[in-house]
Amino acid sequence: MGPRVTVIGAGSFGTCLALLCSRHSEVALWARSAALADGIERDRRNPRYLRDVPLPSAIHATADLGEALAGSELVVCAVPSHALRDVLLEAAPRVPGGAILVSAVKGIEYETGMLMHQVMEDVLPSDHHPRIVALSGPSFADEIAREHPTVVTLACREEAYAISVQATLSSPWFRCYSHTDVVGVEVGGALKNVIALAVGIGDGQEMGHNARAALMTRGLAEVTRLGEKLGADRGTFLGLSGMGDLLLTCTGDLSRNRRVGVALGRGRPLPEVLEEVGQVVEGIQTTRAACRLAKRLGVDLPICEMVGKVVDGELTPAEAGRALMTRQLRSERE
For the cut 70, the answer to whether the pLDDT of residue 102 exceeds it is: yes
- Tens of pLDDT, residue by residue over 238-255, are 999 999 999 999 999 999
For the cut 70, the answer to whether the pLDDT of residue 200 exceeds it is: yes
* pLDDT score at 94: 95
**Domain spans of the chain?**
5-180, 183-325
| Catalytic entry in 106, 192, 295, 309 | 192
Write phi, then psi, for 178 (nearest 5 degrees): -95, 160
**pTM, two decimal places:** 0.95
For the cut 80, the answer to whether the pLDDT of residue 2 exceeds it is: no
pLDDT band at 334 (very low <50, low <70, confident <90, very high): confident
Give the residue among 118, 146, 142, 107 at the shortest CA–CA distance from 255: 142
pLDDT, mean of residues 116-120? 98
pLDDT band at 1 (very low <50, low <70, confident <90, very high): low
For the cut 80, the answer to whether the pLDDT of residue 225 exceeds it is: yes
For the cut 70, the answer to whether the pLDDT of residue 156 exceeds it is: yes
pLDDT, mean of residues 104-129? 97
Mean per-residue pLDDT over the chain, rounded: 96
Q: According to the CATH classification, is domain 183-325 in 1.10.1040.10?
A: yes
Give the residue among 117, 253, 245, 141 at the shortest CA–CA distance from 193: 245
- Tens of pLDDT, residue by residue over 6-41, are 999 999 999 999 999 999 899 999 999 999 999 999
Determine the angle formed by the axes of helices 182-204 and 282-297, rounding to 10 degrees: 120
* pLDDT score at 257: 96
CATH architecture of 5-180: 3-Layer(aba) Sandwich (3.40)
* pLDDT score at 121: 98
C-alpha 38/C-alpha 133 separation (Å) is 30
* pLDDT score at 21: 94
Active site annotation includes 192: yes
pLDDT, mean of residues 62-81? 96
- Tens of pLDDT, residue by residue over 203-220, are 999 999 999 999 999 999
5-180 and 183-325, same CATH topology: no
Burial of 163 (0-12, 13-18, 19+ CB in 10 A): middle
pLDDT band at 280 (very low <50, low <70, confident <90, very high): confident
Element (DSSP H or E) covering residue 245: helix 245-251
